Structure 1
């Protein structure tokens, strides 16, 4: 790819704002979540196989989704602020987000509650799921829909973002360096809120661990994506000597794709260790949840940095391939439908589900008690 005019060094400003490899990352994220649900419902994540710990941690796909949202959705706002151009209109932005999410979501919820679920729906289910209130009203009890806890979080972020973006450009006369400083302050504030929410969830009984699947506890993941968007948007617009040293270091590391992805693999391996929590379906301690949460965030940054801050090399070509990008384009549908269909077919075929301690459903066709599938936050949903 040829560097556009205005680029500096080997890290061009992508004026078109297109990052085709990120569609491939969406595919990896969606099918990673699918794989971890298959692993836990079959018991494969809980056996002694060498791949079991990795299969158990593929809920990491949710982290990728949140960072991707932070990057892709925030980048047009920060690019407009740096270029002193008109930012996306708030009304149009929100309408486009809602149209992208809600019709497909409502269809999946209605079909699941009416046909696919083995958990008899209640009037409360018909009210809270369509309104995306299930995580706030303790109504996320249907095992076929527990993966949908992420959508209230996403929607909350969409509602927050236009106001945050308006704050970073509240002074039209400010220079670009002031915009960068204000954006960094915003990102730091979001991370601070996430840390406070984490502490409150584990130490304040009135808050409780259910709040870990609300937006405040996950703001840092979005903030990391926004940081990548800021660094990316600054390329070619602000001289390197007027930017924080972090930006130059980030671009340098991002240019070494192999190194970044090797470090990401190492960080992900740490998440498979007991220090990041048990692989069983039990509520992790505060330290375990925190360690896994922050390791997931670091791993996602290392994976995405070469694809967002540098020109993709050969290692990223597979993610940009048309078949992989197609899987990314349908990733939202995969995310919505994989769990209800998985549990429905498991029930219809008579395969027993894992008890959450060990075993494989291949060994028995005897029905097993309902089990909540594994995904960040699922261990607390419905309990």
Structure 2
């Protein structure tokens, strides 16, 4: 999912581009691992299975990155560093950043469904729901044409909420804003649990909303808090940055250790983890994002390489298209053909296809809409 900064003022953080690549690659590896029937993966005796099984945390990383990067211009205004961002321009740029790639994929999948089955896979009501980018709230949609689309309305609705959060930061102390958001988010998750007990599993106010906004708003908030302290211009010492980075990595490891083996905690309503999961992982990931934005040496070494930079550049298209490539391979029977059904062989066969298709999608449906003017740099002196 896209996570670049907006509203006419941008800054480039090489390590954050790499983290976008980590997020997209992590989700892709999770789906590949599931398609290979969730085997134990332990090259050279190093058990990577828990890391693969928790690849859904890549989506949480996308949300934190969006909070940091998209929050920058609004928080700079809140701190008196720049004028208020132009809201119509901000929303226009967000629409041009997100919608073209999604609409093109929607058209391709609808046409492919008609060619394969001879019937349209969506009716006009479902099509309108998809075009609205609020499709998860329409019962008429049913199973999504592409399963990874569930997260797109989360990101889209954050764009609508972000200006309000910017106003809140401008009018109140940052810790009051953070406390208010956390109380509201946890309260909403508890309400979702009550709706589950009442067997409300559809509609605008129902248990599945626990994976949508406002239930995920704290992850964006933690990213914005990282941007808030970044803009204050007081760079921590290298030692402090590495302590923060180590704490973030340790926090992610602790969440993986707790959640691994529990399955989909939202599908099983695994309390109390459904109430605190996003908060815990969001805080840990925000430490990593902040240390990376402040150019901690270890973060630069881990996340600023060319491979991750490439994956980060095409991360939105990679997120959209890898699932389609894997689904086609699965339906063709390729994943069940025993000579090549293992994880490593599937990775060698399918990941290059996903990367090529994603690069084409980026060049044709994302790059033409990117702002081409030289990026303005933050003057924090």
For residues 176-325 of structure 1, the aligned pairs below 5 Å read 181=173, 183-204=174-195, 205=198, 206=200, 207-236=205-234, 253-256=240-243, 259-260=246-247, 262-274=249-261, 277-278=262-263, 282-308=267-293, 310-325=294-309
Tell me, what secondary structure is at the counterpart of 2:224?
helix
Check 1:227–1:315 CA distance in 2 against 1; reply closer, same or farther (3 A cut).
Answer: closer
Displacement after TM superposition at 1:201 (Å): 0.7
Check 1:321–1:92 CA distance in 2 against 1; reply closer, same or farther (3 A cut).
Answer: same
Total equivalences in the alignment: 318
Residue of structure 2 equivalent to 1:42: 36
Tell me, what secondary structure is at the counterpart of 2:82?
coil
Structure 1 alignment gaps of length 5 or more: 1-14, 171-178, 241-247, 354-359, 364-383
**Partner deviation per Cα, 1:32-81 (whole Å, 9 max, x = no partner):** 11111122232126x69743332111100011000001110111111122
Check 1:16–1:197 CA distance in 2 against 1; reply closer, same or farther (3 A cut).
Answer: closer
Check 1:321–1:139 CA distance in 2 against 1; reply closer, same or farther (3 A cut).
Answer: farther
Check 1:252–1:141 CA distance in 2 against 1; reply closer, same or farther (3 A cut).
Answer: farther
Check 1:139–1:147 CA distance in 2 against 1; reply closer, same or farther (3 A cut).
Answer: farther
Displacement after TM superposition at 1:260 (Å): 2.9
Q: Using the TM superposition, name which of 219-228 and 264-273 deviates more.
A: 264-273
Tell me, what secondary structure is at the counterpart of 1:83?
coil
Residue of structure 2 equivalent to 1:23: 17
Counterpart CA distance in 1 for 2:221 and 2:329 is 38
**Partner deviation per Cα, 1:151-186 (whole Å, 9 max, x = no partner):** 11111110111233234435xxxxxxxx6x1x3322
**Partner deviation per Cα, 1:76-111 (whole Å, 9 max, x = no partner):** 111122135302211111100110000111011111
Contact 2:18–2:312 (8 Å) recurs in 1: yes
Displacement after TM superposition at 1:193 (Å): 1.7
Higher helix share: 2
Instruction: State the TM-score, normalized to the length of structure 1.
Output: 0.73
Matched, 1:336 2:328: no
Counterpart CA distance in 2 for 1:82 and 1:66 is 23
Counterpart CA distance in 2 for 1:350 and 1:259 is 41
Check 1:258–1:83 CA distance in 2 against 1; reply closer, same or farther (3 A cut).
Answer: closer
Contact 2:23–2:61 (8 Å) recurs in 1: yes
Structure 2 alignment gaps of length 5 or more: 1-8, 344-381
Q: What is the root-mean-square deviation in Å for CA atoms of aligned residues?
A: 3.2
Residue of structure 2 equivalent to 1:69: 66
Counterpart CA distance in 2 for 1:261 and 1:155 is 26
Displacement after TM superposition at 1:251 (Å): 9.1
Counterpart CA distance in 2 for 1:21 and 1:87 is 27
Instruction: State the TM-score, normalized to the length of structure 2.
Output: 0.73
Check 1:157–1:261 CA distance in 2 against 1; reply closer, same or farther (3 A cut).
Answer: closer
Counterpart CA distance in 1 for 2:80 and 2:268 is 46
Contact 1:69–1:225 (8 Å) recurs in 2: yes
Contact 2:25–2:311 (8 Å) recurs in 1: no
Counterpart CA distance in 2 for 1:284 and 1:253 is 38
Counterpart CA distance in 2 for 1:256 and 1:216 is 31
Counterpart CA distance in 2 for 1:352 and 1:53 is 23
Matched, 1:351 2:335: yes
Check 1:116–1:19 CA distance in 2 against 1; reply closer, same or farther (3 A cut).
Answer: farther
Matched, 1:121 2:121: yes
Contact 2:186–2:275 (8 Å) recurs in 1: no
Counterpart CA distance in 2 for 1:116 and 1:27 is 30
Q: Using the TM superposition, name which of 287-296 and 340-349 deviates more.
A: 287-296
Q: Using the TM superposition, name which of 250-259 and 261-270 deviates more.
A: 250-259
